[in-house]
Amino acid sequence: MNRFTPFFISLILPVTGCATSYIQPSATIQSSENVQLATNVQHTAKVKLVNIHALEVKDKTLRLQVMSNGCTKAESFKLIWQGDNLTVQRVKPDHCRRMPHKIWLKFEIPTQISNFNMVNKFER
C-alpha cells in the first residue's frame, strides 16, 4: 500500500459523507407583506433568529426593539405566526456602517391572534 493512500482517504471521506446528508425541509406559508400566517413551518439550523431586546403590545400593534447598523426597517423582517407562536426572522441584512444601536419597529398583529408566545431569544 502506498504511504499516501491513507492521507488521500482521510481527505476524500469527509467531503463525500457531508455532501449527501443535507435535506432541505419544506414549508407551507400564507403571506401578507411582512406578516406570515404559517400552518406548517420547520426551522433549520441555517435560519438565524433575531435577538429581541424589548417587546411592547398595545391593542393590535406590536413594537419590537432590535439592533440596527443604520438601514434596518420593518420591511427587513418577516413575522411568522404558527398557532400562538411568533417567530421573527430577518429577511434583509443591514450592511450599513453606522455604530450598532437599538431601534423600535412597529408591526400589526393579525386580528385572529389574541395571545402569543415569542420564539426568539431576548437579549439585553
Instruction: Note the pLDDT tens digit of each residue in 61-89.
Output: 999 999 999 999 999 999 999 999 999 99
4, part of any domain? no
Per the domain annotation, does 102 fall within a domain? yes
- Amino acid sitting at position 54: A
- Distance CA(27)–CA(31), nearest Å, equals 12
Does 42 map to a domain?
A: yes
**Helices and strands counted in the chain (H then E):** 1, 8
Query: What's the CA gap between 88 and 83, in Å, rounded?
Result: 14
Long-range contact set of residues 43-47: C-beta below 8 Å, sequence gap at least 24: 43/87, 47/89
Is the distance from CB of 105 to CB of 64 less than 8 angstroms?
Answer: yes
* pLDDT-based confidence at residue 124 (cuts at 50, 70, 90): confident
Tell me the pLDDT tens digit for each residue of 8-30: 455 554 444 433 333 333 232 33
- The yes-or-no verdict on residue 54 having pLDDT over 60 is yes
Q: Which pLDDT band holds residue 4 (cuts at 50, 70, 90)? A: low
Judge whether 124 lies within some domain: no
Cβ atoms of 84 and 117 closer than 8 Å: yes
**Residue 59 and residue 79: Cα distance in Å, rounded?**
17
**pTM value?**
0.62
Within-domain flag for 64: yes
Residue 82 β-bridge partners: 38, 85
Report yes or no on 123 lying in a domain.
Answer: no
